[in-house]
């Protein structure tokens, strides 16, 4: 983790079946070894973390969220929020989607300290 008190993680979701069906293609390119992406040809952005479409809920949690929950339990304030346009994966990433089946352990999350805005 960096020492900044505000950290931003970018999670890139996979194309949806509808997007595949209508011929959409990925427009985000990840740069290897650094938390950076390029949109289109030349618009680069740097984050504290970048999670590719293959990254699991558990890995997102372990890398970006778990340490904050541990600090929270030691008495420090922590706020975790999901931000993005509709359909970008906020509810999915927070594990609060009503359609998520509790029979899928990978999607259940680990704690109930979650805020989805
Ligand atoms: N990382 C992911 N892997 C697989 N599917 C995903 C992922 N992220 C999102 N999805 C799927 O994409 C769709 C949209 O995600 P979601 O409902 O979480 O978006 P949202 O940001 O909460 O949108 P809204 O602002 O409308 O509430 C859902 O069908 C969800 O299951
Ligand atoms: Mg949502």
**pLDDT, tens digit, 9 for 90 and up, residues 10-59:** 999 999 999 999 999 999 999 999 999 999 889 999 999 999 999 998 89
- Alpha helices per DSSP H over the chain: 17-21, 57-60, 66-73, 90-94
Residue 96 is predicted with a pLDDT of: 72
**pLDDT, tens digit, 9 for 90 and up, residues 78-106:** 999 999 999 999 999 987 765 555 566 66
Mutational pocket test of ligand 1: of 92, 94, 101, the residue with most ligand atoms within 8 Å of the beta carbon: 92
The ligand 1 site (C-beta within 6 Å) comprises 13-14, 16, 84, 86-92, 97
Establish whether 84 is an annotated binding residue: yes
Residue 34 is predicted with a pLDDT of: 96
Query: In DSSP terms, which residues pair with 115 in a beta bridge?
Result: 81
Given a cut of 90, whether residue 6 has pLDDT beyond it is yes
Residue 94 is predicted with a pLDDT of: 87
- Ordered by start, the domain boundaries in the chain are 7-54, 56-117
CB atoms within 5 A of ion ligand 2 belong to 90-91
């Amino acid at each position: 983790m960096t020492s900044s008190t505000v950290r931003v993680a970018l999670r890139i979701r996979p194309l949806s079946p509808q997007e595949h069906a209508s011929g959409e293609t990925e427009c985000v390119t990840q740069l290897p070894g650094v938390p950076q992406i390029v949109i289109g040809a030349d618009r680069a952005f740097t984050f504290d973390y970048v999670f590719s479409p293959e990254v699991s809920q558990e890995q997102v949690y372990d890398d970006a969220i778990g340490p904050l929950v541990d600090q929270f339990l030691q008495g420090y304030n922590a706020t975790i929020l999901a931000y993005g346009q509709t359909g970008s994966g906020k509810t999915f990433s927070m594990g609060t989607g009503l359609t998520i089946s509790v029979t899928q352990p990978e999607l259940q999350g680990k704690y109930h300290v979650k805020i989805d805005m």
